Each structure stands twice: as C-alpha cells, then as structure tokens.
Chain A
Amino acid sequence: MSEERSAAVRISTRITREDCEEILDLAEKGDKSVLPRVREVLDEFPDLVSDVGDLTRIAKGGMLDMLSNGNVMVREAEDRHLASMVEEIAGPCPAVIERLLAEQIAVCWLHVRHIEIKYAHLKSYTLSEAEYYQRCLDRSQKRYLSAIKTLAQIRKLGLPALQVNIAADGGKQVNVAGREP
C-alpha cells in the first residue's frame, strides 16, 4: 500500500500547472487516454477547490475595498448584498462547483459595476481614456456572461448527480461535484 502511495507521489510530482492546461486541452477534445492523467491532476492538487474558493474570496474582498473606498458601512452593505445574490443564484443545496460559479458570477457583476461607477464618476477624460474604460467594460461584461453561461451549462448537464472524490492528506475527502446533504 505504501509502495503504491509512493509510486503515485512519484508520478504526480511530475505534473506542473502548465501540464494541467495541456492535459485538460487534450481531454476536452475527447482524448480518452488522458483521463488517468486528469485524475492525477485532481490527486496532485487536492486543495484545488479551496484554493479556487480563496481566489474568489480575495477578488471579492479586493473589489469591495475599492468600491467602498474605506467606508466600512458601504463595504458591509455591499458584502451582504453580494451574499444574498450568491444565495439566490446558487439556489438551495448547491453542488460545490455550482456555489463557486455563483460566487464567481457575483464577483464578475461587482467588477462590471465597479467599472461603470468609475466611468460615470469621471469629471473629465481624454478620448483614449474613454476608449480604455469602454474596453474594460466590454471585457468585464464578457467575463460576467461567460460565468453565467458556464453555470447554466453545468446545470443543463446535470453534473451534480456525478461526483469526484478527491482524497486529501489525513484521510480527508473533498467532494467536488456532489450536492450537499
């Protein structure tokens, strides 16, 4: 058992984050041969879900700080508004991936709003600055719509019925796609 484990560790230590992209690209094209490598990726990064969740939380915190401009009351109100938005989007008993996507949608919405507010509050601006804001706004709206589309796809595919169990250290298990009991 310990030999198997050490062998798995030896294999997985060869995977880098760049490899992950390559493996996923092949897997997306339907290359069945990379499926064991995909599972290896999930084994290699057992904290993937919490890491991604942290990234979303960091983004949300940063956006709230920028929007509130040091006003604690505004920050708290915005934070609550976002939390209720996430609850509404995620729905009752969301799968972990659905919840992450719901949080991502909320963060993207906040980003769109941040740019709109900054743009609207400009007292004077040059033509190039207006173009820059317009480009930022276009990109953020695209990102926002893409997050919504991904959540819709996940729901359409009925992924919550399926589940990926990621074994972490200390016998802890992370269920990526399973619904909460």
Chain B
Amino acid sequence: MAWESRKGVGRYYTRSKRVGSRVKRQYIGTGSAAEVIAALDADTRRIREEERAARIVRKDQMERATALVDRSCAGVMGLTRTVLVANGYYRHHRGEWRKRRV
C-alpha cells in the first residue's frame, strides 16, 4: 500500500513510520525520485527481513544445542546421584555428599 492515488489520478509514494504510540504516514511524492526512494525502502525491508530470518535460525540452533547438552547433563548427574546413593552416600543438608554411618 506504499503507492497511492487520489481519485484514480496520480501515483504517490508514501511510507508509514511509528512515532511513539502512533503511526504517521509520510508522503514522499511522485516521479523518478519517489521510485528511487521506494527501491531503497524495499531494499532496507529485504535486509531487515533477512536479518530477522537469520536471527530465528541462530536462536533455533542455540536452543537445540542447549537441549542436547541439558539432556546429557541430566542423565549423567542423575546416574552419579544414583551411584552415590546406592553406595551409601547422602547429601548433608542438601550440600556436600557424606558417607552414611553403618
């Protein structure tokens, strides 16, 4: 909706910009200057979209890596606890591991 016409006449390039809580429409104009500005705006939008997509991919990769490490950590720590407990150790006040007196 960046290009507008008035009563079916002309072709004006406009763009919207958020100012505080409101959206303000900026009227750029017509002709070749408007075409160049429109092309530049489109390019900026494309770059911003690409950066956004790249951010999503990076975040997804980070989450997957963290999930993998979390799972293996939980497994190893759980097994360590099991082995310690089975060998007669307990956690003193949820702190250090101590050997239970027989």
Contact = CB atoms under 8 A, between A and B. Distances in A.
A38 B69 contact: no
A102 B58 CA distance: 28
Interface residues on B, range: 35 or more
A30 B90 contact: yes
Contacts of B36: none
Contacts, number: 130
Given A30-B100, A124-B51, A111 B91 contact: no
A29 B65 contact: no
A28 B81 contact: yes
A78 B60 CA distance: 22
Interface string A6-22: 00000000000000110
A95 to B, nearest CB: 9
Nearest to A122: B58
A157 B97 contact: yes
Contacts of B18: none
B89 interface: yes
A175 to B, nearest CB: 11
Nearest to A126: B55
Interface string A133-175: 1001001100100110010011001010010100000000000
B19 interface: no
B64 interface: yes
B11 to A, nearest CB: 34
Contacts of B73: 104, 108, 143, 146-147
A104 B90 contact: no
Contact of B65 (A56, A62, A159): A62
Contact of B72 (A24, A29, A39, A52): A52
Nearest to B79: A52
Interface string B20-49: 000000000000000000000000000000
Given A24-B78, A28-B90, A56 B83 contact: no
Nearest to B58: A118
Closest 5 CB pairs of A and B: A30-B90, A52-B75, A59-B72, A27-B85, A59-B68
12 contacts: A52-B78, A59-B69, A62-B68, A63-B68, A66-B65, A97-B80, A107-B69, A107-B72, A133-B62, A139-B66, A157-B89, A176-B79
Interface of B: 51, 55, 58-59, 61-62, 64-66, 68-73, 75-92, 94, 96-97, 99-100
